[in-house]
């Protein structure tokens, strides 16, 4: 009788166990805004690399880190690239950044840029929780101070992944 009780007890323990809920790394998370830079005044979209670009959100205490392996101030520089990925605030309907071009030079130029959007939270799974997606405002998606940025054009209003360019900046 004791063996039957033990076996029945173990059986009940095993069937009451639930599989581990682990969020797979490949599961999409809250996307970053993909910004691509282009040469202004050229008829065809000709990508243009930025030089020593530093970016700081108005709510941040430090600059955005582009190179996490660097141990000096170069970790804050987007250099020799024409595409960057930056986060949008999930608890607001806009994110304001300061973009500084040639930040290591005395000829540095700063431009303020604000992205206006609506945030929507989507349930992914119990393990992963929620992710946020963004819809850029169709009437006033981007405002800039136009110091070195000649124009900013929305390429994709709905921001759900990082596979496409969302905003094109011409300078």
For residue 7, pLDDT over 90 is answered with no
Torsions phi, psi of 152, nearest 5? Answer: -125, 125
The SS3 assignment for 17 reads: coil
Q: Tell me the C-alpha distance between 54 and 97, whole Å.
A: 10
Confirm if 83 and 66 have CB atoms less than 8 A apart.
Answer: no
- Nearest Cα to Cα of residue 166 among 125, 129, 122, 113: 113
Q: What confidence score (pLDDT) does residue 57 get?
A: 96
Domain count for the chain, please give it.
Answer: 1
Q: Would you say residue 1 lies in a domain?
A: no
User: Who has greater pLDDT, 10 or 141?
Assistant: 141
Q: Would you say residue 116 lies in a domain?
A: yes
Question: pTM, whole model, 2 decimals?
Answer: 0.85
**Domain enclosing residue 138, as ranges:** 25-170
Please tell me the total number of residues recorded for the chain in this structure. 171
User: Band of the pLDDT at 12, cuts 50, 70, 90?
Assistant: low
Q: What confidence score (pLDDT) does residue 24 get?
A: 84
Q: What confidence score (pLDDT) does residue 10 get?
A: 67
Q: For residue range 16-57, list pLDDT tens digits in order.
A: 666 667 888 888 899 999 999 999 988 888 999 999 999 999
Q: Would you say residue 59 lies in a domain?
A: yes
Q: Would you say residue 2 lies in a domain?
A: no
Q: What confidence score (pLDDT) does residue 16 get?
A: 66
């Amino acid at each position: 009788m004791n063996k039957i009780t033990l076996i029945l007890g173990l059986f009940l323990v095993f069937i009451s166990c639930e599989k581990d809920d682990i969020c797979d790394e490949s599961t999409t998370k809250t996307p970053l805004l993909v910004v691509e830079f282009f040469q202004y005044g050229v008829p065809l979209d000709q990508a243009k690399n930025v030089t020593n670009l530093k970016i700081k959100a108005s709510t941040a205490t430090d600059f955005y880190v582009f190179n996490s392996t660097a141990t000096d101030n170069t970790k804050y520089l987007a250099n020799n690239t024409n595409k960057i990925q930056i986060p949008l605030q999930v608890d607001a309907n806009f994110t304001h950044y300061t973009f500084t071009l040639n930040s290591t030079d005395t000829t540095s130029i700063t431009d303020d840029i604000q992205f206006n959007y609506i945030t929507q939270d989507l349930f992914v799974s119990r393990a992963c929780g929620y992710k946020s997606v963004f819809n850029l405002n169709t009437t006033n998606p981007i405002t800039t101070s136009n110091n070195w940025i000649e124009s900013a054009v929305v390429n994709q209003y709905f921001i759900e992944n990082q596979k496409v360019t969302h905003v094109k900046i011409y300078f």
